[in-house]
């Protein structure tokens, strides 16, 4: 076994070893944190080396092969999986290091570090698994470890309820993935993820025993269902906001890792997923609905963590749309970027009050005329996008180009508008900085996308067989834009009532809270049961006699 | 209720009566300040007119809270030696003196008196289970419904109070909470499920006015004479939001541009929702009283006592005699006894230390005088500072007697910097020494604001967040990793940045200005100057007088301001010190003081400083304004206080969990949930000259207020101390006490579950009630309690008659001291024995519970 093959194994194995060691040796909380952080550090370092090796000399695999040369079990690092592996181990390291201080003295500190190590091992294995069987097993372990982490504060009722809900929702996807794996294995033997295209071909030729019909499309749809459940898409989205009942580090782990399931699964199995129109359209529908709905909920939430959780659901919807239209590299960029973004925002959630105080004490801004502000905000990002495409020549399908254009423009326009609304300088330098910032942001974004795309190109199919068409994407976006504009901009009492209704609907959309009883101890320090003193004589009070 | 008075004019008698009931019901709710300016407050503030035992009984009933430690926790303290049998015996008699005179019992071969039986019960008797009130009724419905609808209403409170600028604000919130809620609640799916179509229709036809709607709703629930109880049932389900509403009603500045959440609006929404739900399909739960039988518990207690005595006799008369004794000590009284014993133990230790001979004040003129906040954390710094040199020190409320509103450089708004009991009438603005110097700083501030707006504009939109997350993640992720893996690095970088683009040199403009309302006129400044000097008891002046405020630098912490100076309204004390110094150094003021008989020597210079309680570093403020003549003195002070800070940091590191070497980094570590211990451990308030505490290690547990009885012939300074700083000290003490005994109900719960809401507070997890009090992490580590929950003990060195007269003529002191919220000890001068004042006003000479212990050589550390 070469050094690089060993390292591929070390990356997921070391956190798993730490988890097992913590479970068996039961060290105190302090030492558990050191073991967890130590294992994550080495795993992250190994992941960096693996990524470099893969970038320089191509994929690395450490697999046990069967007679036909197909992998039976093992791990496999490509440019795609190495990138995801960097994210999962990096987040595992940062979050555990954060938790070492954040959960210091916590009564369940050891349990946290054991489970966090296990979760890191599982998500990393999902990234690196060379076979569908191993991927499925790691996927299920990740879900269980997550649910166990959500119930960290088990003396507090909302935490227990949230964990139950998480388990129930995740089982929908776990069941689908289990069936998909069994079906595939029964049809073609173990699915070798080193060449998912080959597996797709074999699956296409196999037909379902007894019932008939192509195995491929059934497996593809089942994989989509698994992704929908793991990435908290409508209609199985409710579990994600409920997980705020877990401590901050758990949220950071969850929102940067586990929840990306749909992206990682569907990108890795793109040839299988993408050859079924039913699967891509199902993913597109769930993704688009979630992106619109969850983002709307996010807009009304005044609590930091609720805002972040609903934002994640919306982001997962967007990511799934990216996969569905075949923009695989863009989806990868999103998985990694959003993972880091959300982990950082969750860990820093405590800053909200101070930030608000500081913001109120800032000097009043300069004023930029509205027409100038809107002109800059609308036009500069558009021009910058046009220039960026000229400079970087990203290889994007039409649909992907539409998606990138619309959303990069929207972001840059909103940001430039926000900057100019609270202009820090006189109008001319304010406009100049806004224009420069928007243009630089757009160029960096398209440039970064192109770079990622170029980097992962060898490990990804150039396109999928049955993506959602650009026409459908455009039609969907246009329909959403029209409806939103109509509801938002139409004056009059009826529309006002409608807006109130939408507001109330999205604010009260978390059914968990309807039976909310916040009883129980959030601190984990329940009053000590006095059972000992209930048995008189066991504890003789000799001191006083 | 001043803000609401106008509203109430012209109301019908029925409404006025209802409002009076609302006011009475809201006694169980203490005002809750927003976390931007945390103010420690007794969670039972509204019940303070009742004695402690009665107030806590009310709280247990309506807030479903624990008001004392559990028996197990007390027994654990007993096991550690923090409470001794002698303490318990004394406490038993103190709580119920009848027990001492009861006949002894013959049990087996032993003779046991009643006190001994109660003592055994305290040590081994089973604890009572908390009362479950699930089956109680509110008019036509049950408390379960109240709890559920309260949770629904809480979700609306969270969006109503938002200040941080949510992307889509609550529609119609400018119409007030009740009106906006009633319109939107029509579409609340969860309420609809509870209330059904009939209930929702009923809700729709309610009057628009919250008071009328409340009256109608109470009628619909068939609530009659028990109106206050029904209202309390509702308030007790949302003490956090109700507290925030009380703050809005009674304490918030009227010019605040937030939509105020009024208590009557909140109650109207809660009760209306309950009444609507009572129309609904969900059947009320059947009553299920889970009250543990009093008889059964008594039986078990008697059995436990007998077993502990080794009695095997089946003699029914013995058993019933034991029961007879125990019957006089119902469960809550047992806890009173334990608390009394624990307090007695601490009192003995402190008075023992304070009974050492008073070395008396130093007679020659000192080089440096330094005044520190009365905050318990100052005690440590002062102790270590005095070990470095002959410093003459004072303890004084950290706003240094100047109640002003402080407007930081560039800020459009000013904040009050004084204890909440005072009103700040004057605004003082921070101005740059050289206006042009400030331009760069102000632009940097504006740019930070614009960056914040740009980010949030993109994030808070339907189309913006997606590419934002992709792009920003690659910047935020590595930054988060660096902050987590190398928090010390951030500390160095912050220092570097402050040096390069930090604020310019500024000064507080205390002089009244023509163009705006900022500043104070000369007479006002002279009056303030006089008040500072007289209340502090400054009779002579050193060449250098340092006024040292304190603040706490800590990050990523919604409760950051709870570590700041309470006397400055939950903000750092540096600005207040600067204002006081600017007043006292002003030649015009000095001349005015001379006319009033206070001669400040010309070579006396006042200097402001600020103590960072996380790192224990002290910074001299406006350093450049120190004249050459005083440079050497200031430099020496800086050197000594740096050494003192280092020693204090090392001392504190021993009390904090985690690596002791990193204690100074904690404030910059965003993962840290315990930047410092704050005022945890606080237990006593000493009023007297510093010389009586000068050589003692008080373990950062004691508020020190300077008082010189001789210079205060008419007792006015003492009256100010007892009615203002002592009362604020009691608020702080009670805040810590209750957050420690019930971290879930009176405290803010677990910090890692905190979810900041609206820029003003935190909820736990997904939502619900606004959290009150201090986080669990501020008072303990896991199961270890760092704050020993004791009521405040005040030791006052002043003529007893003077102290007694002041207590007698101030109602607040009569309530607090007579109601056992505070226990007072006093002595007239350093040579006298301490006396303890009993609640009824008699003073008895203090004698320790256990004479065998050398109380003059004890430690005050939390055991």
Distance CA A143, CA A137 (A): 10
Model confidence band, residue B255 (pLDDT cutoffs 50, 70, 90): low
Phi-psi domain of B537 (left: phi exceeds 0; alpha: psi -120 through 50; beta: other): left
- Residue B514 makes CB contacts below 8 A (sequence gap 6+) with none
Residue B347 contacts residue B341 (beta carbons within 8 Å): no
**pLDDT given for residue A189 in this prediction:** 87
The two tokens of residue B615 are 């790192």
Q: Return per-residue pLDDT of chain A as tens, 545 residues.
A: 788 899 999 999 999 999 999 999 999 999 999 999 999 999 999 999 999 999 999 999 998 888 777 888 999 999 999 999 999 999 999 999 999 999 999 999 999 999 999 999 999 999 999 999 999 999 999 999 999 999 999 888 889 999 999 999 999 999 999 999 999 998 888 889 998 999 899 898 888 776 777 889 999 999 999 999 999 999 999 999 999 999 999 999 999 989 999 999 999 999 999 999 999 999 999 999 999 999 999 999 999 999 999 999 999 999 999 999 999 999 999 999 999 999 999 999 999 999 999 988 899 999 999 999 999 999 999 999 999 999 999 989 999 999 999 999 999 999 999 999 999 999 999 999 999 999 999 999 999 999 999 999 999 988 889 999 999 999 999 999 999 999 988 888 888 999 999 999 999 876 544 333 444 666 655 443 332 222 222 333 333 32
Cβ atoms < 10 Å from Cβ of B365: 12
Distance CA B101, CA A85 (A): 77
Model confidence band, residue B440 (pLDDT cutoffs 50, 70, 90): confident
**pLDDT given for residue A511 in this prediction:** 53
**pLDDT given for residue B734 in this prediction:** 97
- Residue B372 makes CB contacts below 8 A (sequence gap 6+) with B378, B381, B382, B393, B394, B395, B396, B398, B548, B550, B611
Distance CA B683, CA B690 (A): 18
The DSSP annotation for B357-413 comes to -------SPPSEEEEEESSHHHHHHHHHHHTTS--EEEEE-TTTT--EEEE-TT-S-
Q: What is the pLDDT of residues B351-365, one digit of tens each?
A: 999 998 877 777 788
Q: Is the pLDDT of residue B247 over 80?
A: yes
Model confidence band, residue B10 (pLDDT cutoffs 50, 70, 90): low
Burial of B296 (C-beta count, 10 Å sphere; 0-12/13-18/19+): exposed
**Could you report how far apart the first and last alpha carbons of chain B are, in Å?**
43
Residue B216 contacts residue B223 (beta carbons within 8 Å): no
The minimum CA-CA distance between A23 and chain B, rounded to whole Å, is 20
Of residues B196, B351, B496, the one with CA closest to residue B835: B351
Which B positions 27-86 lie with beta carbon below 8 A of chain A? 35-36, 66, 70-73, 75-76, 85
Sign of torsion, CA B324 B328 B333 B336? negative
Residue A525 contacts residue B779 (beta carbons within 8 Å): no
Distance of CA A481 to the CA centre of its chain: 26
Lowest mean pLDDT among A257-266, A319-328, B418-427, B803-812: B418-427
Q: Is the pLDDT of residue B1 over 60?
A: no
Q: Is the pLDDT of residue B134 over 50?
A: no
CB-CB neighbors (< 8 A) of A507 in chain B: 155-156, 159, 184
Asked if A406 has any chain B CB less than 8 Å from its own CB, the reply is: yes
The minimum CA-CA distance between B585 and chain A, rounded to whole Å, is 28
Residue B409 contacts residue B430 (beta carbons within 8 Å): yes
Q: Is the pLDDT of residue B560 over 50?
A: yes
Lowest mean pLDDT among A86-90, B509-513, B546-550: B509-513
Q: Is the pLDDT of residue B37 over 50?
A: yes
Asked if B603 has any chain A CB less than 8 Å from its own CB, the reply is: no
Model confidence band, residue B9 (pLDDT cutoffs 50, 70, 90): low
Phi, psi of B111 (to 5 degrees): -105, 120
Distance CA B651, CA B377 (A): 12
H or E element that contains B763: strand B761-764
- Residue A478 makes CB contacts below 8 A (sequence gap 6+) with none
Average pLDDT over residues B69-89: 94
Q: What is the pLDDT of residues A178-195, one digit of tens each?
A: 999 999 998 888 889 998
Among candidates B472, B557, B749 on the partner chain, residue whose Cβ is nearest the Cβ of A522: B749
- Is the complex ipTM more than 0.85? yes
Q: Do A106 and B767 touch (CB under 8 A)?
A: no
Q: What is the pLDDT of residues B663-721, one digit of tens each?
A: 888 999 999 999 999 999 999 999 999 999 988 999 999 999 999 888 888 898 899 99
The half-sphere exposure of A335 on its side-chain side, counting CA atoms within 13 A, is: 35
Burial of B406 (C-beta count, 10 Å sphere; 0-12/13-18/19+): buried
Distance CA B202, CA B190 (A): 16
Q: Using alpha carbons only, what angle is made at residue B658 by residues B653 and B664, rounded to the nearest 5 degrees?
A: 50
Cβ atoms < 10 Å from Cβ of A544: 15
Q: Do A418 and B481 touch (CB under 8 A)?
A: no
CB-CB neighbors (< 8 A) of B186 in chain A: 504
H or E element that contains B438: helix B437-459
The two tokens of residue A332 are 């990868």
Of residues A254, A520, A277, A57, the one with CA closest to residue B742: A520
Under 8 Å CB pairs connecting chains A and B tally to 451
Q: Is the pLDDT of residue B806 over 90?
A: yes
The minimum CA-CA distance between B156 and chain A, rounded to whole Å, is 8
Distance CA A388, CA A163 (A): 45
Which A positions 474-493 lie with beta carbon below 8 A of chain B? 484
Asked if A455 has any chain B CB less than 8 Å from its own CB, the reply is: no
Pairing type for strands B684-688 and B617-620 reads: unpaired
Minimum Cα–Cα distance from B303: chain A residue: A536
**Could you report how far apart the first and last alpha carbons of chain A are, in Å?**
73
Asked if B282 has any chain A CB less than 8 Å from its own CB, the reply is: no
DSSP state at residue B657: S
Residue B428 contacts residue B518 (beta carbons within 8 Å): yes
Distance of CA B82 to the CA centre of its chain: 24
Of residues A90, A421, A149, A301, the one with CA closest to residue B476: A90
Asked if B485 has any chain A CB less than 8 Å from its own CB, the reply is: yes
Distance CA B481, CA A415 (A): 25
Burial of B597 (C-beta count, 10 Å sphere; 0-12/13-18/19+): exposed
Distance CA A78, CA A55 (A): 8
**pLDDT given for residue B3 in this prediction:** 43
Average pLDDT over residues B369-393: 94
Q: Do B168 and A247 touch (CB under 8 A)?
A: no
Angle between helices A328-347 and A248-256 (to 10 degrees): 170
**pLDDT given for residue B697 in this prediction:** 93
The two tokens of residue B152 are 């629904």
Cβ atoms < 10 Å from Cβ of B129: 13
Pairing type for strands B792-797 and B822-827 reads: parallel
Among candidates A345, A355, A508 on the partner chain, residue whose Cβ is nearest the Cβ of B155: A508
Pairing type for strands B368-373 and B544-551 reads: parallel
Distance CA B177, CA B312 (A): 66
- Residue B244 makes CB contacts below 8 A (sequence gap 6+) with B32, B34, B157, B161, B261, B760, B761, B770
CB-CB neighbors (< 8 A) of A510 in chain B: 766-767
CB-CB neighbors (< 8 A) of A100 in chain B: 671
Lowest mean pLDDT among A84-93, B236-245, B413-422: B413-422
The minimum CA-CA distance between A497 and chain B, rounded to whole Å, is 9
Distance CA A463, CA B80 (A): 71
Asked if B657 has any chain A CB less than 8 Å from its own CB, the reply is: yes
The two tokens of residue A386 are 């046009």
Which residue shows structure tokens 């070497």?
B661
Q: Is the pLDDT of residue B136 over 80?
A: no
Residue B106 β-bridge partners: B111
Pairing type for strands B605-612 and B843-845 reads: unpaired
Mean pLDDT estimate for chain B: 90
Average pLDDT over residues B99-117: 86
H or E element that contains B294: helix B294-308
Sign of torsion, CA B621 B624 B630 B634? positive
Q: What is the pLDDT of residues B209-223, one digit of tens each?
A: 999 999 999 999 998
Average pLDDT over residues B231-253: 94
The DSSP annotation for B341-364 comes to HHHHHHHHHHHHHHTS-------S
Among candidates B73, B85, B305 on the partner chain, residue whose Cβ is nearest the Cβ of A543: B85
Distance CA A170, CA A259 (A): 11
Distance CA B669, CA B674 (A): 10
Among candidates A334, A352, A522 on the partner chain, residue whose Cβ is nearest the Cβ of B164: A352
Angle between helices B811-818 and B725-741 (to 10 degrees): 30
**pLDDT given for residue A69 in this prediction:** 77
Q: Is the pLDDT of residue B368 over 60?
A: yes
Q: Is the pLDDT of residue B230 over 90?
A: yes
CB-CB neighbors (< 8 A) of A99 in chain B: 671
């Amino acid at each position: 076994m070469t050094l690089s093959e060993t390292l591929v194994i070390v990356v997921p194995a070391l956190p798993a070893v730490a988890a097992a060691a913590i479970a068996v040796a039961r060290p105190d909380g302090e030492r558990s944190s050191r073991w967890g952080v130590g294992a994550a550090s080495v795993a992250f370092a190994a992941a960096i080396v693996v990524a470099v090796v893969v970038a320089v000399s191509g994929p690395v695999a450490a697999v046990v092969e069967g007679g036909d040369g197909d992998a039976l079990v093992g791990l496999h690092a490509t440019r795609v999986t190495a990138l995801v592996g960097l994210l999962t181990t990096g987040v595992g390291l940062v979050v555990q290091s954060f938790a070492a201080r954040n959960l210091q003295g916590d009564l369940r500190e050891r349990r946290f570090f054991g489970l966090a190590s296990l979760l890191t091992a599982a998500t990393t294995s999902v990234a690196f698994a060379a076979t569908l069987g191993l991927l499925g097993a790691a996927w299920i372990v990740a879900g269980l470890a997550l649910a166990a982490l959500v119930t960290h504060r088990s003396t507090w009722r909302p935490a227990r309820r949230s964990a139950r809900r998480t388990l129930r929702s995740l089982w929908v996807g776990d069941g689908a993935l289990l069936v998909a794996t069994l079906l595939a294995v029964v049809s073609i033997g173990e699915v070798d993820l080193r060449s998912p295209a080959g597996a797709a071909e074999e699956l296409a030729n196999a037909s379902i025993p007894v019932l008939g019909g192509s195995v491929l499309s059934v497996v593809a749809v089942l994989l989509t269902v698994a992704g929908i459940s793991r990435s908290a898409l409508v209609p199985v989205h409710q579990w994600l906001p409920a997980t705020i009942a877990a401590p901050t580090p758990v949220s950071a782990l969850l929102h940067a890792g586990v929840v990306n399931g749909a992206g990682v699964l569907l990108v890795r199995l793109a040839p299988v997923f993408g050859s079924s129109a039913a699967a891509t359209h199902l993913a597109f529908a769930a993704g688009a609905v979630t992106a619109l709905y969850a983002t709307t909920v996010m807009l009304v939430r005044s609590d930091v963590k609720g805002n972040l959780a609903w934002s994640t659901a919306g982001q997962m919807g967007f990511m799934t749309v990216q996969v569905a239209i075949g923009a695989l590299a863009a989806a990868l960029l999103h998985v990694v970027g959003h993972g880091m973004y959300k982990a950082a925002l969750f860990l820093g959630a405590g800053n909200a009050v101070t930030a608000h105080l500081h913001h109120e004490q800032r000097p009043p801004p300069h004023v930029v005329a509205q027409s100038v502000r809107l002109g800059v905000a609308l036009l500069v990002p558009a021009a910058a996008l046009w220039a960026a495409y000229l400079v970087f020549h990203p290889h994007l399908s039409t649909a992907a180009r539409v998606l990138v254009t619309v959303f990069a423009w929207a972001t840059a326009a909103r940001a430039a508008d926000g900057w100019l609304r609270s202009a820090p300088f006189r109008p001319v330098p304010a406009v100049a900085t806004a224009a420069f910032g928007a243009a630089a942001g757009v160029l960096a974004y398209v440039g970064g996308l192109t770079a990622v795309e170029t980097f992962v190109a060898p490990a990804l199919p150039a396109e999928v067989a049955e993506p959602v068409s650009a026409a459908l994407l455009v039609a969907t976006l246009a329909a959403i834009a029209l409806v939103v504009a109509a509801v938002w901009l139409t004056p009059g009492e009826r529309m006002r009532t409608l807006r109130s209704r939408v507001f109330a609907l999205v604010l009260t959309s978390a059914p968990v809270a309807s039976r909310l009883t916040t009883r129980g101890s959030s601190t984990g320090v329940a009053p000590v049961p006095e059972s000992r003193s209930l048995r008189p004589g066991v504890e003789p009070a000799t001191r006083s006699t | 209720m001043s803000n609401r008075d106008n509203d109430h004019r012209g109301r019908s008698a029925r409404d006025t009566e209802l409002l009076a009931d609302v006011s009475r019901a809201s006694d169980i709710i203490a005002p809750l300040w927003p976390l931007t300016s945390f103010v420690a407050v007794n969670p039972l503030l509204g019940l303070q007119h009742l004695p402690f035992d009665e107030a806590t009984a009310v709280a247990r009933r309506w807030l479903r809270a624990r008001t004392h430690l559990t028996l197990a926790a007390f027994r654990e303290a007993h096991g550690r030696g923090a409470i001794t049998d002698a303490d318990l015996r004394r406490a038993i008699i103190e709580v119920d003196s009848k027990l001492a005179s009861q006949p002894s019992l013959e049990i087996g071969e032993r003779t046991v008196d009643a006190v001994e039986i109660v003592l055994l019960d305290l040590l081994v008797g089973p604890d009572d289970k908390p009362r479950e009130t699930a089956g109680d009724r509110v008019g036509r419905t049950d408390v379960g419904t109240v709890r559920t609808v309260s949770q629904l209403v809480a979700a609306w409170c969270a969006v109503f109070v938002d200040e941080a600028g949510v992307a889509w604000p609550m529609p119609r919130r400018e119409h007030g909470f009740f009106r906006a809620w009633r319109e939107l609640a029509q579409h609340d799916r969860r309420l609809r499920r509870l209330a059904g179509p009939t209930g929702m229709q009923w809700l729709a036809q309610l009057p628009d006015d919250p008071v009328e709607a409340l009256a109608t709703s109470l009628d619909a629930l068939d609530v009659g004479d028990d109106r206050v109880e029904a209202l309390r049932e509702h308030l007790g389900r949302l003490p956090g939001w109700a507290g925030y509403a009380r703050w809005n009603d009674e304490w918030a500045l009227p010019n605040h541009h937030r939509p105020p959440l009024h208590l009557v609006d909140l109650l109207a929404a809660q009760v209306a929702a309950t009444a609507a739900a009572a129309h609904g399909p969900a059947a009320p739960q059947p009553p299920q009283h889970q009250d543990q039988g009093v008889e059964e518990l008594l039986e078990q207690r008697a059995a436990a006592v007998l077993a502990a005595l080794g009695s095997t006799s089946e003699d029914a008369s013995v058993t019933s005699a034991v029961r007879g004794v125990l019957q006089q000590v119902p469960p809550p009284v047992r806890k009173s006894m334990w608390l009394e014993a624990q307090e007695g133990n601490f009192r003995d230790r402190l008075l023992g230390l304070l009974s050492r001979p008073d070395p008396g004040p130093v007679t020659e003129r000192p080089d440096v005088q330094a005044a520190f906040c009365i905050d318990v954390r100052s005690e440590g710094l002062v102790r270590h500072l005095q070990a470095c040199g002959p410093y003459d020190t004072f303890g004084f409320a950290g706003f240094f007697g100047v109640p002003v509103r402080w407007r930081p450089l560039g800020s459009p708004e000013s904040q009050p910097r004084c204890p909440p009991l005072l009103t700040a009438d004057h605004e003082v603005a921070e101005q740059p020494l050289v206006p042009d110097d400030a331009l760069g700083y102000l632009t940097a501030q504006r740019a930070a604001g614009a960056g914040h707006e740009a980010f949030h504009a993109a994030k808070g939109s339907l189309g913006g967040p997606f590419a934002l997350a992709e792009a920003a993640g690659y910047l935020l992720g590595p930054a988060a990793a660096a902050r987590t893996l190398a928090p010390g690095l951030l500390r160095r970088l912050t220092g570097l940045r402050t040096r390069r683009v930090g604020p310019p040199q500024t000064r507080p403009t205390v002089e009244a200005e023509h163009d705006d309302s900022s500043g104070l006129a000369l007479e006002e400044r002279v009056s303030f100057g006089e008040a500072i000097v007289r209340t502090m008891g400054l009779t002579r002046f050193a060449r250098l007088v340092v006024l040292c405020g304190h603040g706490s630098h800590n990050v990523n912490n919604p409760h950051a301001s709870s570590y700041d100076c309470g006397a400055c309204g939950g903000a750092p004390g540096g600005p207040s010190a600067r204002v006081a110094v600017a007043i006292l150094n002003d030649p015009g003021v000095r001349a005015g003081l001379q006319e009033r008989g206070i001669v400040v020597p010309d070579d006396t210079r006042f200097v402001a400083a600020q103590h960072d309680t996380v790192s224990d570093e002290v910074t001299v403020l406006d350093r450049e304004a120190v004249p050459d003549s005083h440079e050497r003195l200031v430099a020496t002070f800086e050197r000594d206080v740096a050494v003192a800070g280092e020693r204090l940091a090392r001392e504190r590191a021993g009390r904090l969990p985690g690596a002791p070497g990193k204690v100074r980094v904690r404030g910059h570590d965003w993962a840290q949930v315990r930047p410092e211990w704050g005022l945890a451990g606080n237990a006593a308030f000493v009023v007297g000259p510093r010389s009586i505490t000068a050589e003692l290690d008080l373990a950062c547990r004691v508020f020190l207020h300077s008082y010189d009885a001789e210079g205060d012939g008419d007792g006015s300074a003492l009256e100010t101390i007892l009615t203002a700083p002592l009362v604020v000290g009691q608020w702080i003490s009670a805040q810590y006490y209750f957050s420690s005994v019930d971290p879930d109900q009176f405290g803010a719960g677990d910090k890692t579950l905190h979810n900041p809401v609206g820029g003003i507070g935190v909820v736990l997890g997904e939502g619900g009630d606004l959290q009150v009090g201090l986080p669990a992490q501020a008072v303990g580590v896991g199961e270890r309690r760092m704050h020993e929950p004791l009521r405040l003990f005040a030791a006052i060195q002043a003529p007893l008659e003077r102290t007694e007269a002041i207590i007698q003529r101030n109602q607040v002191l009569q309530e607090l001291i007579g109601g056992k919220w505070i226990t007072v000890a006093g002595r007239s001068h350093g040579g006298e024995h301490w006396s303890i004042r009993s609640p009824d006003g008699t003073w008895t000479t203090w004698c320790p519970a256990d004479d065998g212990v050398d109380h003059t050589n004890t430690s005050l550390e939390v055991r």
